[in-house]
Amino acid sequence: MEPSSSSSGSVNGSSLMVMTESHSQSIVVQKDKAVTSMSRAYLENKAVSDAKSLIAELCRQFYAMGWVSGTGGSVTVKVHDDSVPRLDQLIVMSPSGFQKERMVPEDMYVLSPDGFILSSPASKPYPYKPPKCTDCALLFMKVYGMCNAGAVIHSHGMESCLVTMINPFLKEFRITHMEMIKGIQGHSYSDELVVPIIENTSHEGELTEPIAEAIRAYPKATAVLVRNHGVYIWGDSWISAKTQAECYHYLFDAAIKLHQLGLDCSAPCHGPIGKVNGFWGSGGNFSRSFRTAAFGLDYMMEPSQHCILLDNEGTATPTSFITDVLFPYALDNVGKHLAATYGSKETQEDINLLRSQIQDDFEQGVSGAVPIPPDYVGKELVIASLVANVESMMRSDRKVIALKQLQGHIWRTGFQSNELVGVVFDDVPEALERCMYILVAAGNHNNSFLPNLTMVT
Ligand SMILES: [Zn+2]
């Protein structure tokens, strides 16, 4: 039959065209020399229209869940027909660049089992764009072909994106001992759920081969995460795909929240990060071998605490806070601090350091240096002498360790009692967050310090 019009194209990368005869009752799918005829009536039967309606409904639901906002994400289902093997069933896909919450059944594409567009939606007037099948079509076809799936969901849900960003080195998401793992095909509560993570690309279609590789490497997987992007999830049916998608998003969200609490979702006891496996989501061979190779065994054994050391004065904190708040506080409280902590090991070390400094100052004729009496004259006289020396040092703005150490201890007491409250410039919190990612990228794996930042001057 000679077709009189051409209405759509292929999505599987060949030069095939799908040609339709507008007045005929059949559609011809031409692939090189192979020709498949299909009844137009079959393309318009109830099963197909039900599948189109289903996708429109699912897109509205997924939009409400934040999975397909901004026209992102996509959904595809196979047209269910008991008389047709799944691999031979027709495929319905959502269009590209369309607001998912406003889609209607007539907006859907129908594809042949091997990925040729059999039916396209009609064009709509401006400001609608010309109809285009989803950019995920190649990926969907790959999943259909490799996994014998009945439906595939591509979500841009925030949790599916963020969970890949916490550690940019991880190639797997791992979680265990969560009830919702039971919702993932082939898994029980205590199983370790492993989802491969692939890197994002500029164009969605370029993800096709990386997804295929991930499916080959993880035959048990029913999802693949795309870093900084989202997730592809499939199931035997649309119900299975949807149910698993809900469970995956729940588990991604749980993992993010556990991480914020400093807990490790990949360990059965969900203990503190760094105490169980030492690396967020570190149950996998990849992360262990990576750490061993990149940082050595010693580093791997003790990753628990990291800090960011800042030059506060004028950098993170206004200079006026130092001169107008911290220094007067130390000056006013040196006697009180020494009296309250006189017997402590720390203060005795401070006093010994001061004695040594003052002795040097005295010998060198530094102005204001006053000899410290021996301990047996009594604590009050010793403290009075120390205070006089400290006041003299501070007025001279001395930069000696003995003074700095004592000041630090006085300020720490002030911060702990909330008599002192730290001040930072407005852009410091955001800069610290960026530091966290730099540290992670540089190999400082444990970023659990972020919720526990403490300002130390
Ligand atoms: Zn996407």
CA–centroid distance, 72 to ligand 1, in Å, is 6
179 among known catalytic residues: yes
Q: Identify residue 151 by its one-letter amino acid code.
A: A
Partnered with residue 391 across adjacent β-strands are: none
Model pLDDT, residue 34? 39
**What is residue 272's DSSP assignment?**
B
What is the C-alpha separation between 236 and 149, in angstroms, rounded?
A: 5
Q: Which of 29-38, 137-146, 407-416 has the highest mean pLDDT?
A: 137-146
Q: Model confidence over 442-457: pLDDT tens digits?
A: 444 443 434 444 444 4
Cβ atoms 223, 232 nearer than 8 A: yes
Name the strand (E) or helix (H) holding 47.
helix 46-64
Please tell me the distance from the alpha carbon of residue 18 to that of residue 264, in angstroms, as a whole number.
51
The answer to whether residue 306 scores a pLDDT higher than 70 is: no
More confident residue, 223 or 303: 223
Between 186 and 369, residue with greater pLDDT = 186
CA 77 to chain centre: 29
Decide if pLDDT at 359 tops 50: yes
CA proximity to 36, closest of 14, 57, 18: 18
CA 229 to ligand 1 center in whole angstroms: 6
Grade residue 365 by pLDDT with cuts at 50, 70 and 90: confident
Report the pLDDT averaged over residues 212-234. Answer: 97
Query: Is residue 92 within 8 Å of residue 52, measured between CB atoms?
Result: yes
Say whether 90 sits in a helix, a strand or coil.
coil
Residue 204 CA to ligand 1 center (angstroms) comes to: 6
Ligand 1 centroid vs 235 CA: distance in angstroms? 18
The three-point CA angle 175-180-182 to 5° equals: 95
Answer for the pair 107, 54: CB distance below 8 angstroms, yes or no. no
What is the enclosing helix (H) or strand (E) of 192? strand 192-198
pLDDT of residue 286: 33
Residue 227 pLDDT greater than 90, yes or no? yes
Short-list 2, 90, 75, CA closest to 41:
90
pLDDT of 314-338, one tens digit each? 778 888 888 899 999 999 999 999 9
User: Residue 136: pLDDT above 50?
Assistant: yes
Give the whole-angstrom CA distance, residue 231 versus residue 319.
47
Mean pLDDT of the chain: 81
Cβ–Cβ < 8 Å for 46, 175 = no
**Long-range interactions of 48-54: CB distance < 8 A, separation 24+:** 48/79, 48/90, 48/92, 48/110, 49/105, 50/80, 51/77, 51/78, 51/79, 51/80, 51/90, 51/92, 51/108, 52/92, 52/105, 52/106, 52/108, 52/110, 53/105, 54/238
Instruction: Flag whether the pTM goes above 0.75.
Output: no
Using a 10 angstrom Cβ sphere, with 0-12 exposed, 13-18 middle and 19 or more buried, the burial of residue 322 is: middle
Cβ(430)–Cβ(316) under 8 Å?
no
Distance 272 CA to ligand 1 centre (A): 33
State how far Cα 32 lies from the chain centre. 45
Q: Within 10 A of 325 (CB to CB), how many other CB atoms are there?
A: 18
3-state secondary structure of 327: helix
- The residue from 44, 57, 179, 199 that is catalytic is 179
Distance 207 CA to ligand 1 centre (A): 10
Position 416 scores a pLDDT of 87
d(CA 169, CA 181): 24
Amino acid identity, position 121: P
**Token pair 């967020």: residue:** 280
**Least confident window among 80-94, 379-393, 432-446:** 432-446
Q: How far is the CA of 372 from the centre of ligand 1 (A)?
A: 73
SS3 (DSSP) at 98 = coil
Token representation of residue 416 = 């702990």
Tens digits of residue pLDDT in 55-82: 999 999 999 999 999 999 999 999 988 8
